[in-house]
Amino acid sequence: MPDAFPQTIAEKVLTRQSRSGTPLRAGDTVDADIDGLLVVMYQYFRNAYKKIGFPDGPPTVWDPDKVFLMSEHVQPPPDLINAYTNLAARRDAERLGLPHFIDSEPGVCHQMMLDHGLVRPGELVVGCDSHTISYGGINAVSTGIGTDEAAYVWAFGTLPFTVPETVKVVLHGTTAPTGKDIILYLAGRYGETFAQGRALEFTGPLVERMDIATRLTIADHAVEVGAKFGVFPADDKTLEYVRARTDKPFTPVGADEGALYAQVIEIDCDAIGYQVAKPFRFDNVVPVAEVAGIRIDQARVGSCANGRLEDIAAVAEVMAGHRVAPGVRFYVSPASMTVYRQSVEAGHIAALLAAGVQVVDPGCSICQSPGIVLNEETCISSTTRNYRGRFGGSQTAQAQVYLATPAVVAASAIEGRIADPTPYLTRKETAHA
Amino acid sequence: MPDPTPPAHPAPHTGRVWLIGDSVDTNQLAGGGLAGKDRQDTLRINCLRGLRPDFTDHVRPGDILVAGENFGCGSARQSAVEALQLCGISYVLAESVARIHRRNSIALALPTMTVPGITGLVTDGDRIEIDESTLTVRNLTRGGHLPLPQTPDSVREIYRAGGMLPVIAHRLAAQGIHPPTTP
């Protein structure tokens, strides 16, 4: 290739996926070939085609094998409109011959993408949900887009991209707390726009000690600091994780030595304790001690951020021998049916039920409503966001939502007040085992 | 090859300012709440209601939304742009705009610009003039002006087409795929 120079992951992948053949730098604009498209909320997607004269759904698809259509946001459907949408999705999937249509399986789309091996290292993947970025945890280069852009990709398989600048985040340490604590700490220290429109590359000696779940949590929340991509390197743990779920070939991507970064951030994760984001921003972060004692009415664990087996296990460990405080509603939602089944087999679900936890179906509703938090109430949650009205819409704009790692949420549910989980843990938390 | 004749600029637009703060996320633009007559009505009556309960009752077609940092952060909700359009908002000027919301604004052809310093130029209720030919925003109520960012021709083409959907229809037609019915 002419004029080769050391490239970041974003530069490399967009160079490969563009058809120009010349190496790209941050700032270049390019049409990139898409390796995978996730479509959820099909009602709106289908409506896009209706608006341009196709009332019976999209007339074509660029590559049926690269489209992943899921009913999950509305499975089971809560109303007639969505029930009919799911019917239309079934008919469209059959007409267009979509092999990866996931219909009667509730869950969070992103966890199902991982469970079913539909996303792989090195791929460029887009989806009409902002947390599509989470696949960076397994070295995919992925990001969220809107409905009409998804309709464009569906038909043509490409999308214009500006090659982003990259911020390198070097994670040091040996026994850091959870992924949630690391990303909350980063947001608190550098602000919720420090990665606006940029790519994040996570690297450093701590990464190889992190399990995949921890990486996925951090990558998921890259969008909460504005990032376009948030990518971890692929190592043996990544390859083992992916190969257990798909036999399709893939090529992991890594940055070149000497690649140009807009910023390099070095973090000593050993110094990070449990972190909590106060209302109403992801970067309004303090150590748990500063908010300990605040009364809560509701606690939630789940979502693409923290609804994996490791998160359910963390809750079960804290709850062992304890019960949810009177007056507190504690909802726990495994992120997918696979996670749910694994949690049952591990005995976690029985432990949660015995502790008075309300175990709810897998799905994206754990991040929105039902489970409304009223203006008079306070909630602590391991889910994705704490913006105003997140759990109830415009009439609940004063409801207080704090974000924290599942162990903090569980300890808070036991005490009825925001609490440090350390006394409830039988051993030092092993998020990076 | 780029189009040798760049798209014409729209005429200068004058409107009243609604000023909101930093980090207004898509949930506050399109997060539901009150039940409206239909989907569009529900979107309209809940737009910014949590922050500005007076907004949807008093906003008028042609009004301009001025926002702080990180406008439109959060979920990839195209309905957040649609809600502003249903309220009659003609332009959004913000200190900064979150990535997905910026792309959705282009896709739905709602001019949404990053204008550093804009929240210092205006106060709530001012009248301002947006002139895309001179790339200037002018405060008609209390004076002062700021430069507007240049919009790339590729983006202006999408605005001129009326958004992403007409672009899709055009490209499908070029492949011989036409609607079975008139839209």
For residues A159 and A144, what is the distance between their CA atoms, to the nearest angstrom?
A: 12
Distance separating alpha carbons of residues A9 and A133, to the nearest angstrom: 14
Q: How high is the pLDDT of residue A367?
A: 87
Q: How far is A355 from chain B (nearest CA, A)?
A: 33
Q: Which residues of A touch B107 (CB under 8 A)?
A: 146, 148-149
Q: Identify the structural domains of chain B with CATH numbers, from first to last.
A: 16-174 (3.20.19.10)
Nearest residue, CB atoms, B100 vs list A56, A60, A144: A144
CB contact under 8 A, B27 and A128: no
Backbone φ and ψ for A100, nearest 5 degrees, come out as -115, 55
Strands (DSSP E) found in A240-337: 263-268, 275-277, 285-287, 298-301, 329-332
Contact A126, A105 (CB under 8 A): no
The residues near A234 (Cβ < 8 Å, ≥ 6 apart) are: A121, A122, A138, A139, A252, A253, A254
CB contact under 8 A, B166 and A389: no
CB A351 within 8 A of CB A318: no
| A389: helix, strand or coil | coil
Alpha-carbon span A292 to A422, nearest angstrom: 12
For B112-168, the pLDDT digits (tens) are 999 999 999 999 999 999 999 999 999 999 999 999 999 988 899 999 999 999 999
Q: Which residues of chain A have pLDDT under 50?
A: 1, 428-433
Q: How many CB atoms lie within 10 A of CB A300?
A: 29
SS3 assignment for chain B: CCCCCCCCCCCCEEEEEEECCCCCEHHHHCCCCCCCCCHHHHHHHHCCCCCCCCHHHHCCCCCEEEECCCECECCCCCHHHHHHHHCCCCEEEECCECHHHHHHHHHCCCCEEECCCHHHHCCCCCEEEEECCCCEEEECCCCCEEECCCCCHHHHHHHHHCCHHHHHHHHHHHCCCCCCCCC
pLDDT of residue B6: 56
| Residue from A162, A303, A394, A400 whose CB has the most chain B CBs within 10 Å, to mutate | A394
Would you call A428 helix, strand, or coil by DSSP?
coil
pLDDT for B49-65, tens place per residue?
999 999 999 999 999 99
User: What is the predicted pLDDT for the residue at A58?
Assistant: 98
d(C-alpha A248, C-alpha A242), whole Å: 10
Length of chain A: 433
For B32, which of A146, A388, A393 is closest by C-beta distance? Answer: A393
Task: Return the residue matching tokens 């890594």.
Answer: A254
Residue with tokens 């991509």: A229
Q: Does B8 touch chain A (CB under 8 A)?
A: no
Q: What values do phi and psi take at B99, rounded to 5?
A: -60, -50
Predicted confidence at residue A428, as pLDDT, reads 44
Confidence band of B182 (pLDDT split at 50, 70, 90): low
In this prediction, residue B183 carries a pLDDT of 47
Sign of CA dihedral A245, A249, A255, A261: negative
- In this complex, which of B31, B76, B166 lies closest to A146 when CB atoms are compared? B76
Q: Which residues pair with A141 in a beta bridge?
A: A124
Give the pLDDT of residue A79.
Answer: 86
Q: The domain A9-248+258-267 is classified under which CATH number: 3.30.499.10, 1.20.1050.10, 3.40.50.300, 3.30.2320.30?
A: 3.30.499.10
Tokens coding A406? 């599942």
pLDDT (0 to 100) of residue B1: 41
Whether B168 sits inside 8 A of A151 (CB atoms) is yes
**B85 — contact with chain A (CB < 8 Å)?**
no
Predicted TM-score of the model (pTM): 0.95
Cβ atoms of B29 and B140 closer than 8 Å: no
Q: Is B50 near chain A, with CB under 8 Å? A: yes
Q: What is the mean pLDDT of residues B25-29?
A: 94
Q: Out of A158-167, A193-202, B86-95, B172-181, which region has the weakest mean confidence (pLDDT)? A: B172-181
A432 near A209, Cβ under 8 Å?
yes
Q: Do domains A9-248+258-267 and A277-424 have the same CATH topology?
A: yes
Of A48, A130, A151, the CB nearest to B100: A130
User: Are A397 and B181 within 8 A, CB to CB?
Assistant: no
| pLDDT, position A394 | 86
The per-residue pLDDT for A72 is 80
Interface pTM, i.e. ipTM: 0.93
How far is it, in rounded angstroms, from Cα A212 to Cα A137? Answer: 7
DSSP A417: B
What pLDDT shows up at residue A78?
82
Fold exhibited by the domain A277-424 = Aconitase; domain 3 (3.30.499)
User: What value does the mean pLDDT take over residues B88-117?
Assistant: 97
The domain limits of chain A are 9-248+258-267, 277-424
